[in-house]
Amino acid sequence: MNKPVVLRFAPSPTGPLHIGGVRTALYNYLFAKQQKGRLILRIEDTDQNRYLEGAEAHIRESFKWLGISFDEGVEEGGPNGPYRQSERARQGIYRQYASQLVESGHAYYAFDTPEELEEMRNRLKAGGQKLVQYNYAVRPQMKNSLNMPPEEVKARLDAGEPYVIRMKMPRKEEIRFYDEVRQWVVFHSSQLDDKILLKSDGMPTYHLANVVDDYLMGISHVIRGEEWLSSTPLHVMLYRSLGWEDHIPVFVHLPLILNPDGKGKLSKRQAYKLGFPVFPINWQDPQNGELSVGFREAGYLPEALLNYLALLGWNPGTEEEVMSLDRLAELFSLEKINNSATNFDPLKLKWFNQVYLRSKDVEALLPMVKEELKKQELPLPSDEFLAGAIELLRDRVQFPAEFVTAAPYLYAAPEQYDEKTARKRWTPEAKQHIAALLEQLKMLENWDAAAIKATVDTYVETAGIRHGLILAPLRLLLTGQPKGPDMFAMAALLGKQACTARIEQAMNQLPLAA
């Protein structure tokens, strides 16, 4: 009988949620949905020295905005709680298994002081050792329970002497495990150190807590970043040493997401240099107050971001690109995850954002446009006007804010006019024709795009002039810009009174080209 599919995403609240972590969570989510399994959000907060206030809240708010939900977690509850490892540590869960490993001979107490550890490292470096680590070759010379009589160990423990519990890695053993992306992976134990499992403050390290919780929570698949591949041999050894070999999960280590130029792992510094975020939502560092703008605040839609991320390291095997979360879950499979790193392409992400923005109905876009008008301190028109503005600009914008920033003249008469266009187009002849056209436009009773265009066409034909002589300066007077959406549709939206007033105002204040 196949065991239930249970996955977990286990972030550490030591900083904001990075976009690489979002992709990891997304793949866990898609596979859980595809397999009709469960997804747990577990907070791995055992590193109290690096804990950052607000990081957990940032992680939770990010997932709410993204639309990635969990079946179990701190807020969701569930049968496997508590879901913060610090709370689980206070219950003694990890110490129990660390002690079991000591008793079975797979781990040991180490009483070495920081000074003694530093002396050991310096000695190894001076001797030209390539591996400067606490391992099988070093442990006989160190202060640990492997080199002490049981009575001395007990006395030190009873006296409250600080200690850690270290894993006793075998000296000569091949540790093999299968990874769904890389297939068979082999490490030799001689290259691995005796990692700390329980720290002197009583908190477990990531390695022990990770394995214990994955076992107790029935995790069937571990989908995580490539950086954890080198830790997997220790995790496999922990499963074996604790008698859980039949419960070793399926491992899936995801390839890196690289900077757009392919040089190095995607970093905040490089991303911001190129003008795109790396965090889902705004993050204000509590240590230095620095504000990092998130994808949400930069105007990206969550469905566009998730769609792009899903394809950043995975191929659906079809020609489809634009897919909902449900469709992605339907097609998702571990076998189609790439085994090589992928460059982050901000232009492709913008394309996805534009596609999703175009597909939204007016009712969904109205609140976004109103929010931007508020930010720009511009007057708020009627919903009917805004609906017309959205339809006018829908195919020209990539971000919701551009419904305002790309066409501020829709919401207020221009105060400045493009100098280059004015020098070239605003000639005495153009002004003469615009003045004559304006009188005809004032007489229009049916002010719609077709009637405005017909009036202009008739005037051009009657005057025997080129359209260009009158269209470019007319747009300049109405908007202050040389380019924009369809001018007749725009004029219809602005209304007769606004258009005629703008033309008259510009004719009075805009100097003619020499």
- For the chain, domain boundaries: 1-73+255-359, 365-509
Which residue among 268, 370, 431, 496 is the active-site one? 268
DSSP assignment of 196-227 equals EEE-TTSPBPHHHHHHHHHHHTT--EEEEEGG
| Model pLDDT, residue 499 | 98
pLDDT, tens only, 325-383 = 999 999 999 999 999 999 999 999 999 999 999 999 999 999 999 999 999 999 999 99
pLDDT-based confidence at residue 48 (cuts at 50, 70, 90) = confident
| Model pLDDT, residue 211 | 98
Q: What is the pTM of this model?
A: 0.93
Contact 472, 421 (CB under 8 A): yes
Domain 1-73+255-359 in CATH 3.40.50.300: no
Closest by CA to 105, choosing from 241, 275, 307, is: 241
pLDDT-based confidence at residue 161 (cuts at 50, 70, 90) = very high
| Model pLDDT, residue 130 | 86
Tokens 């591996």 locate to 131
pLDDT, tens only, 409-445 = 999 999 999 999 999 999 999 999 999 999 999 999 9
CA–CA separation, 50 and 14 (whole Å)? 5
pLDDT-based confidence at residue 3 (cuts at 50, 70, 90) = confident
Closest by CA to 278, choosing from 12, 11, 14, 16, is: 16
Beta-sheet pairing, 164-167 with 196-198: antiparallel
Closest by CA to 68, choosing from 35, 23, 6, 37, is: 23
Using the predicted structure, report yes or no on whether residue 267 has a pLDDT greater than 70.
Answer: yes
CA–CA separation, 413 and 203 (whole Å)? 64
b (16+ CB within 10 A) / e for 203-239: bbbbbbbbbbbbbebbbbbbbbbbebbeebbbbbbbb
What are 131's two structure tokens?
Answer: 């591996």
Using the predicted structure, report yes or no on whether residue 49 has a pLDDT greater than 90.
Answer: no
* Average pLDDT rounded to a whole number, residues 177-181: 97
* Average pLDDT rounded to a whole number, residues 456-478: 96
* Average pLDDT rounded to a whole number, residues 393-421: 95
With 0-12 / 13-18 / 19 or more C-beta atoms within 10 angstroms meaning exposed / middle / buried, residue 130 is exposed
8 CA to centre of own chain? 18
pLDDT over 70 for what percent of the chain?
Answer: 100
| Model pLDDT, residue 2 | 74
pLDDT, tens only, 22-44 = 999 999 999 999 999 999 999 99
Contact 476, 440 (CB under 8 A): no
CA distance between the termini of the chain: 87
DSSP assignment of 115-145 equals HHHHHHHHHHHHTT-S--SSSTTTGGGSSBG
Contact 143, 116 (CB under 8 A): yes
Using the predicted structure, report yes or no on whether residue 514 has a pLDDT greater than 90.
Answer: no
pLDDT, tens only, 339-355 = 999 999 999 999 999 99
421-to-18, 179, 505, 513 alpha-carbon distances in Å: 45, 62, 17, 10
- Is 268 in the active site? yes
b (16+ CB within 10 A) / e for 295-332: bbebbbbbbbbbbbbbbbbbebeeeeeebebeebbebb
For residue 249, give the DSSP letter. Answer: P
Q: Omega into 82 within 30° of 0, i.e. cis? A: yes
* Average pLDDT rounded to a whole number, residues 198-216: 96
| Model pLDDT, residue 178 | 98
pLDDT, tens only, 109-141 = 999 999 999 999 999 999 998 889 999 999 999
Q: Catalogue the E-assigned strands of 385-467.
A: none
Beta-sheet pairing, 38-41 with 6-9: parallel
What are 30's two structure tokens?
Answer: 């898609």
250 CB-near residues (< 8 Å, 6+ apart): 178, 180, 220, 221, 222, 334
**Fold (CATH) for 365-509:** Arc Repressor Mutant, subunit A (1.10.10)
pLDDT, tens only, 287-315 = 999 999 999 999 999 999 999 999 999 99
The per-residue pLDDT of the chain, averaged, comes to 96
Tokens 């690489």 locate to 20
pLDDT, tens only, 224-259 = 999 999 999 999 999 999 999 999 999 999 999 999
CA–CA separation, 16 and 261 (whole Å)? 24
What are 512's two structure tokens?
Answer: 């003619």
With 0-12 / 13-18 / 19 or more C-beta atoms within 10 angstroms meaning exposed / middle / buried, residue 197 is buried
Using the predicted structure, report yes or no on whether residue 1 has a pLDDT greater than 60.
Answer: no
